[in-house]
Amino acid sequence: MDKGEEQSRNELFYRTLEEAIGRLPAEVRARLYRPCAEACVRDGVLVELRRQFEECGCDLDRQYAKYGRSPFFFAEVVEPGRLYEMGYPRCLCPQVEAGFVSAPTHCECSRQSILYVLEELLPDRDIEVETLETVLGGGSECRFRVTVRKADGSGAAGGE
């Protein structure tokens, strides 16, 4: 089997797998993608975002005001201390770049990575991440809405 045939076989395998995953309940998809999402961001992205967060007094609003625009990531404060939009100006997934995956189902991995990072930075908060649009889903960028609440259901994500 030549490299082209092998690549086609791998693409078919992953496409079939992701189509099946896409038919699973949302909470099952989340559990399947979570370990991969954590592994993807744990040793690089999380370390840098934690550094920024601590530099900004553990305040997301200040962090996103200072570091919220780069070629790889964007974050905007919609409602200070509570509501944010963040994401990526293009698909940055190495699995997509390698040609293994192309289904929008795979974007659950990005949602889970954002959730993981924020849960690590804000362990005493309830965090919700909603997918707004993704490149694999036909969007112009990958955008997510993040809601941060105190564990009691209220409040802000700032340094209070």
Q: Which residue, 79, 90, 96, is CA-closest to 133?
A: 90
Q: What's the CATH code, domain 3-150?
A: 3.90.1520
User: Domain limits of the chain?
Assistant: 3-150
pLDDT digits (tens, 9 = 90+) for 119-140: 999 999 999 999 999 999 999 9
On whether the pTM is more than 0.85, the answer is yes
Give start and end residues of each alpha helix (H) in the chain.
3-22, 26-41, 45-55, 60-67, 94-97, 108-121
pLDDT digits (tens, 9 = 90+) for 22-69: 999 999 999 999 999 999 999 999 999 999 999 999 999 999 999 999
- Separation of CA 93 from chain center: 10
